[in-house]
A and B are shown apart, each in its own frame.
Chain A
Amino acid sequence: MDAKFISRGQLPEWLRSLAARFAVLAPARAGSSVIYRPVDPEAPPRQPELAVKPTESAKRALFPLSEALLTFVKNQPDGKPGLELRETPPPRPCLVFGLPSCDARGFLVFDPVYAGSGTAGKFQDNYYLRRREQAVLIVKTCPRPLSTCFCNWVGGGPASTEGADVLATELKDGLVLEALTGKGARVLDSALLRPAADEQLTAAAQSRAASEAAMPPPVDISGCARALRGKFDSAGFWQGHSAGCLSCGACTCLCPTCYCFDLSDEERGSRGVRLRSWDSCMLPLFTQETGGHNPRAAKAARLRNRISHKFSFYPDLHPSLPGQDGHIACCGCGRCIRSCPSAVDIRRIVTEALGTAAEGAE
């Protein structure tokens, strides 16, 4: 596949040119955070913030914080009861530039669920699937891990190409861009890019190797699905780990793999929208039944569900290779840890469930 090079100076211009064809998101600094901001083709070119791992995940590119699924009009012009429903038209194709590999791997957790794995494909979420099909993900090699990073525990790595269309690796003066898919190759077809020279490719490979080497060795968490199932009824285990939890949604909102949502209506007069918006299993109302019963009224039960869903329920439902644990619904980005006001550490919960010492988890 193609490998190109773009100088740092031309990068903003290239992103602006892509914004003519895609809704482009690129990391930008906002206060003490780095978030994914739309690239405005009309605004002056801006360097994306590439030095810092984005504070939020890139999931909003394919799973917006809130989106209208349907619009409705309730009354006919003559005032008689009516109901006209319209599906929201497909959005512009999206391109995310500079997301870390963990963010791209996060979407691999969304994919089967939204393709209807629960109903053998009978019910498919086309709002997600059509975004996914058109999206171009340009992953950037992570230069060095944060104290919260553990992508290599769950099958990832700082230069993982899974789920990505282009792999970007930073050199001193620019980026080497290597196409991984046809979609990726098409976005690299620009006069602003020039073919990568051999020494640039070598330097990029060395940079990736250095990134891999900078990762502390992974902790073996195979068997976590079974271990967490075994811990399900250990009230003390979950009460202990959830004692400091505030029951907020910081962990789930910033998580690249948390895909749960709410549906709600908003209306003005006789018109309105049905919205799908992010929801969080850490909030008590998530499972509150109309009749008053709440199966996860305690924060310990909610934390148990979040961790078990990622490391036990989801892997059980999504087996990978025979003899291996299923696909873990966590990409090891560590955002739930570093965004948690109480520093609740998902790694510690999993490793303690496994009964192994959290080596390398510092």
Chain B
Amino acid sequence: MPNNPYLPQVATVLEVIAETPDIKSFRLRLDDEAAHAALRFEPGQAGQLSLFGAGEATFAISSPPSRKEYLQFSVLRAGEVTTALHGLMPGDKVGVRAPLGNHFPYDDMKGKDIILVGGGIGMAPLRPLLLFMLDNRDDYGKISLLYGARSPGDLAYMGEIREWMARGDLSVTLTIDREVPEWPHEVGLVPQALDKLSPSPANAVAITCGPPGMIKYVLQTLKKLKFADGQIYTTLEKRMKCGVGICGRCNIGDKYVCIDGPVFTQAQLTGMLNEL
């Protein structure tokens, strides 16, 4: 990142992938080739994406550091900036401030069974972690992914997920909220599907990301399954502006999600003030 933390780097949109009716992934490359080559980031870190005129918003980097040719952000269309971003076409210019924040401690997870639990756009920060682990498959034990969305069409990254399902070295469970004809996978909310899968907490970590309501019940289910707070990781979403711990809005007590997060263990969250 340049000396001025507010100055984005100019990047070009290489590819736009329509993941679902309201999620698009943007693959970007920094225009400054040397800067792109020097880009170092970790799974779970975030970035600020600028569409000048509309503004800037924070997103998880959804590509893994092991795939360096592009930097990917997946964007759920919800507000002014995200709606504007959804209009981007290949060749368009954006501003990027990345990486920001902490990351999933994948080194601490080595040798353990990994349970990834995602809901909706919450798959975005899990994707780089999963791809990183698949790129370093021997370092990890059993890898399971549980991913849910409202309907089949709302599941992002389905092209890749089909490839993952074809691999023998991870188990993938998909679930949708309500039954639809010819859906071969699970039906029901993510916490219920997790309960049914009932992963063992022995030498395992669970990483969950999704809407606040889902996280709340996933945490309850994990507790019921005897996962300790230190075995559970999640990422927090807050309204952010500066992304560098100065502008003062993403705090929970004396912790700033932009710099102390976005990744927290449940043990850390339990020790923090109750203002999610």
Instruction: Tell me, in angstroms, the Cα distance from A69 to B211 when the chains sit together.
Output: 33
Could you say which of A9-17, A96-104, A183-191, A255-263 contacts chain B? A255-263
- In the complex, whether B168 has a CB less than 8 A from a CB of chain A is no
Stretch of A171-179, A242-250, A284-292 with 4 or more beta carbons under 8 angstroms from chain B: A284-292
Query: Contact check: which of B93, B239, B275, B276 meets A83 at CB < 8 Å?
Result: B93
**Nearest-neighbor residue (CB-CB) of A326 within chain B:** B254
- Interface flags for B178-204 (1: CB within 8 Å of A; 0: not) read 000000000000000000000000000
A267 to B56, alpha carbons, bound, how many Å?
14
Contact A123 B8 (CB under 8 A): no
Q: How far is the CA of A288 from the CA of B211 in the complex (A)?
A: 15
- The DSSP consensus for interface residues of chain A is mixed
| Interface contact tally, CB-CB below 8 A | 140
Contact B241 A119 (CB under 8 A): no
- Distance in angstroms from A299 CB to nearest chain B CB is 14
Near B by CB (< 8 A), chain A positions 247-304 give 259-265, 267, 272, 274, 276, 279, 281, 286-291, 293, 295-296, 301
Partner of B251, one of A116, A288, A313: A313
Write out the residue numbers on chain B whose beta carbons fall within 8 Å of the beta carbon of A287.
238-239, 249-250
Contact B251 A291 (CB under 8 A): no
Q: Which of B52, B251, B275 contacts A267 (CB 8 A)?
A: B52
- Check A81–B91 contact: CB distance below 8 A: yes
As a 0/1 sequence over residues 84 to 126 of chain A, the CB contacts with chain B under 8 angstroms (1 = contact) are 1101000000000000000000000000011011110011111
Candidates A281, A301, A308; contact of B249 at CB < 8 Å: A281
Q: Which of chain B's residues have a CB closer than 8 A to the CB of A83? A: 10, 52, 93-95
Partner of B246, one of A118, A286, A312: A118
Decide if A264 touches B55 in the complex (CB within 8 Å).
yes
Interface residues of B in 21-57 (CB under 8 A from A): 50, 52-57
Q: A87 → chain B, closest Cβ, in Å? A: 6
Give the number of residues in B that approach A within 8 Å (Cβ atoms).
49
CA distance A127 to B7 in the complex (A): 11
Contact with B along A123-143 (1 / 0, CB 8 A): 111110000000000000000
On chain A, the residues within 8 Å of B208 by CB distance are: none
A123 contact set on B, CB distance < 8 A: 1, 5, 244-246
A263: chain B residues at CB < 8 Å are 6, 55-56, 241-242, 247
Does B237 make an interface contact (CB < 8 A)?
A: yes
Q: At the interface, yes or no: B159 with Cβ under 8 Å from chain A?
A: no
B79 in contact (CB, < 8 A): yes
Please report the C-alpha to C-alpha distance between residue A100 and residue B94 in the assembled complex, in whole angstroms.
Answer: 45
Q: Quick check: A261 and B247 within 8 Å, CB to CB?
A: yes
B16 to chain A, nearest CB (A): 13
Q: Which residue of A lies closest to B250 (CB)?
A: A287
Asked if residues A118 and B256 are in contact (CB atoms below 8 Å), the reply is: yes
Residue of A nearest to B6 (CB): A69
A316 interface residue (CB < 8 Å to B): yes
Interface centre among B81, B237, B249 (most CB of A within 10 A): B249
Q: Is there contact, CB below 8 Å, between A286 and B237? A: no
A interface residues, how many (CB within 8 angstroms)? 57
B270 at interface, CB cutoff 8 A: no
B253 at the interface (CB under 8 A from A): yes
Please encode chain B, from 237 to 276, with 1 for each CB lying within 8 Å of some chain A CB and 0 for all others.
Answer: 1110110111111111110100100000000000001111
Beyond A70-B7, A263-B241, A289-B239, whether A114 also contacts B253 by CB under 8 A is no
> A317 contacts the other chain (Cβ, under 8 Å)?
yes
A327 within 8 A of B: no
Q: Is the CB of B274 within 8 A of A233?
A: yes
Given contact pairs A123-B244, A265-B55, A291-B78, A70 touches B6 in the complex (Cβ within 8 A): yes
**8 Å CB contact of A125 from B10, B55, B246:** B246
Tell yes or no: B177 within 8 A of A by CB. no
Task: Given A116-B244, A281-B248, A317-B254, decide whether A265 and B53 contact each other with a Cβ distance below 8 A.
Answer: yes
Find chain B residues with CB under 8 A from A118 CB.
244-246, 256, 259
Q: Which of A74, A259, A295, A301 has the most CB of B within 10 A?
A: A295
Instruction: Provide the residues of chain B in CB contact with A295, threshold 8 Å.
Output: 238, 252, 275-276
A313 to B3, CA, bound (A): 28
Query: Could you tell me the distance between the alpha carbons of A118 and B259 in the complex, rounded to whole angstroms?
Result: 7
Interface flag for A53 (CB, 8 Å): no
Residues of chain A contacted by B78 (CB below 8 angstroms): 290-291
Q: How far is the CA of A30 from the CA of B53 in the complex (A)?
A: 35
* Residue B82 interfacial (CB < 8 Å): yes
Q: What's the minimum C-beta distance from B75 to chain A, rounded to whole angstroms?
A: 10
Q: 27 A-B residue contacts at CB 8 Å?
A: A72-B52, A74-B53, A74-B93, A81-B91, A81-B92, A82-B93, A85-B95, A114-B246, A118-B246, A119-B244, A123-B244, A123-B246, A232-B273, A259-B248, A260-B248, A263-B55, A265-B53, A267-B53, A276-B6, A286-B249, A287-B239, A287-B250, A290-B57, A290-B82, A295-B276, A305-B251, A316-B254
What 11 new A-B contacts, CB under 8 Å, besides A82-B93, A229-B253? A74-B52, A81-B92, A114-B246, A125-B5, A127-B6, A232-B274, A265-B52, A265-B53, A276-B6, A305-B251, A309-B248
